[in-house]
Amino acid sequence: MNISKLSRARREGIAKVLVGIQFLILGLLGITALLNITDKNHSYLAFEAALVLIGGAVIASAGKYLRPSLRISPIPKADSPLIAVGIYKYVRHPMYLGVILIGVGLAGFTDSALAWVMAGILVIDLNFKARFEDALLREIHPESLHYQLHTSRIIPCIGGSCRENCELK
Cα–Cα distances (Å) from 1 to 6, 130, 144, 155, in that order, read: 9, 14, 19, 23
Residues composing the chain: 169
Residue 16 CB contacts under 8 Å (≥ 6 apart), including other chains: 73
Give how far Cα 20 sits from Cα of 15, 17, 119, Å. 8, 5, 15
pLDDT at 64: 94
Give the CA distances from residue 21 to residues 16, 56, 82, 158, in Å, rounded to whole numbers and listed in that order.
8, 19, 26, 25
Amino acid identity of 18?
Answer: L
What's the CA gap between 168 and 163, in Å, rounded?
9
* Number of alpha carbons in the 13 Å side-chain half-sphere of residue 103: 27
Q: Is the pTM of this model over 0.95?
A: no
Task: Per residue of the chain (169 residues), give pLDDT as tens.
Answer: 678 788 889 999 999 999 999 999 999 999 999 998 877 777 788 899 999 999 999 999 999 998 878 888 999 988 889 998 999 988 999 999 999 999 999 999 988 899 999 999 999 999 999 999 999 999 999 889 988 888 889 888 775 566 555 555 4
Position 4 scores a pLDDT of 77
| Count helices and strands in the chain by DSSP H and E runs | 5, 0
Q: Which CATH number fits domain 11-37+45-160: 1.20.120.1630, 3.40.630.40, 1.10.10.10, 3.30.300.20?
A: 1.20.120.1630
Domains of the chain by residue range = 11-37+45-160
Q: Report the C-alpha gap between 123 and 130 in whole angstroms.
A: 10
- Residue 1 has a pLDDT of 65
Q: Are 64 and 119 in contact (CB under 8 A)?
A: no
- Gap between the terminal Cα atoms of the chain: 29
* DSSP string of 65-95, one letter each residue: HHGGG--SSSS--TTPPPP-SGGGGTBS-HH
